[in-house]
Structure 1
Amino acid sequence: MIMVNTETVAGRTIVQALGIVSGNTVQAKHVGKDIVGGLRGLVGGKMKEYEEMFNEAREIAEKEMLSKAESLEADAIVNVRYSSSSIMSGTSEVLVYGTAVKLE
C-alpha cells in the first residue's frame, strides 16, 4: 500500500477516489514511565518515555487506516495527515486520515 502526504502518487494516475479513511487511538503510558517522564521534564532532556508512547499510538492509528483502505481495495492513500492531542496528563491521541484511491 502506497501512503503519501501529497495529492498524487509520482508516476501514477489516480483513476478513482474511494473515500476518506482514518485511524485513531488514545494511548496512556505505564505509571512508572509517566513518573520518570515527569521527572525528566523537571530537569530537562529528551523525553523518551513520551516519544515511545506517541510512536506506538501513531503506528496503531496508521494500521487501522491502512486496514480500512485495504477493505476498499485501494492501491494508495493520498493526502495523509496526522493530528494529535493530549486528553489528560500522560495520554496521547493520534488521528491519521487520508483519501483512499485506485491507481492506473
Structure 2
Amino acid sequence: MIVVTTENLPGYRVRDVKGQCFGVVVRSRGIGGNIMAGLRSIVGGEIKEYTSLLEEARRHAVDRLVQNATMMGANAVVMMRFDSSEIGQTMSEIVAYGTAVVVEPDPA
C-alpha cells in the first residue's frame, strides 16, 4: 500500500477514488510512565516516555488506515494527514486520515 501526504503520485495516475479512510488509536501512559514524565517535566527537556507513546500511536494509526483502505479496495492513500487530541488528562487520540484511491502506473 502506497501512503503519501501529497495529492499526486509521480509515475502513477488515479483510476478510482474510493473515499475517505482513517485509522484511530487512543493511548494512555501507565502510572509509572506518568510519574517519570512528571519528574522529567520539572527539569525541562524532552519527555521521552510521551514521545515514544505518540510515535507508536502514529504507527498504529497508519496501520489501521491501511487496513481500512484495503477493505475499501484501494491500493494507495493520498493526502494522508494526522490529527491528535487529548481525552481527559491521561489519554491521547491519534487519527491518520486520507483519501483511499486505486492507482495504476502512468503509461506516459
TM-score by length of 1: 0.94
CA contact (8 A) 1:26 1:94 kept: yes
Secondary structure of 2:87's counterpart equals coil
Moved over 2 A (4+): none
Secondary structure of 1:59's counterpart equals helix
Give structure 1 stretches of 5+ with no counterpart.
none
Please give the per-residue CA displacement for 1:73-94, whole angstroms capped at 9, x wherever unaligned: 2111000010011112232110
Please give the per-residue CA displacement for 1:51-90, whole angstroms capped at 9, x wherever unaligned: 1111121112111110011112211100001001111223
Q: Percent identity?
A: 38
2:82 aligns with 82
CA contact (8 A) 1:23 1:65 kept: yes
Higher strand share: 2
Secondary structure of 1:86's counterpart equals strand
- The alignment of Structure 1 onto Structure 2 pairs a total of residues equal to 104
Secondary structure of 1:6's counterpart equals coil
2:19 aligns with 19
Could you say what the CA RMSD is over the residues aligned between the two structures, in angstroms? Answer: 1.0
**Aligned partners of 1:36, 1:94: CA distance in 2, in Å?**
22
